[in-house]
């Protein structure tokens, strides 16, 4: 039972981290693409790479934090 709860918490942490990271990455990628005057079609690629990279990092860290907190009881 506790194992299923822990897995659900880690999965939720990864999902929330991915969503927050994707949103932050999209905003930051758009800002950087405009700032550095990236050519038209490369803007889409640049923004996508920034979004996916940021989502992966945020998801990884929030999932790891959720895993660390799984064993603790408050």
Q: Is residue 72 part of a domain?
A: no
How many whole angstroms separate alpha carbon 43 and alpha carbon 34? 8
Q: What pTM does this model have? A: 0.86
CB-based contacts of 71: which residues, under 8 Å, 6+ apart?
6
The residue segments making up the domain with residue 61 are 28-67
Residue 39 forms part of a structural domain? yes
Q: Is the pLDDT of residue 73 over 80?
A: no
pLDDT of 39-50, one tens digit each? Answer: 989 999 999 999
The answer as to whether 22 is a domain residue is no
Is residue 38 in a domain?
yes
Query: Is residue 16 in some structural domain?
Result: no
Structural domains of the chain, count: 1
Assigned domain for 15 exists: no
Q: Is residue 14 part of a domain?
A: no
């Amino acid at each position: 039972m506790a194992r299923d709860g822990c897995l659900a918490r880690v999965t939720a942490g990864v999902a929330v981290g991915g969503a927050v990271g994707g949103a932050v990455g999209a905003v930051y990628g758009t800002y950087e693409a405009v700032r550095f005057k990236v050519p038209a079609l490369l803007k889409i690629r640049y923004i996508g790479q920034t979004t996916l990279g940021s989502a992966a990092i945020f998801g990884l860290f929030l999932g790891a934090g959720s895993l660390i907190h799984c064993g603790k009881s408050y």
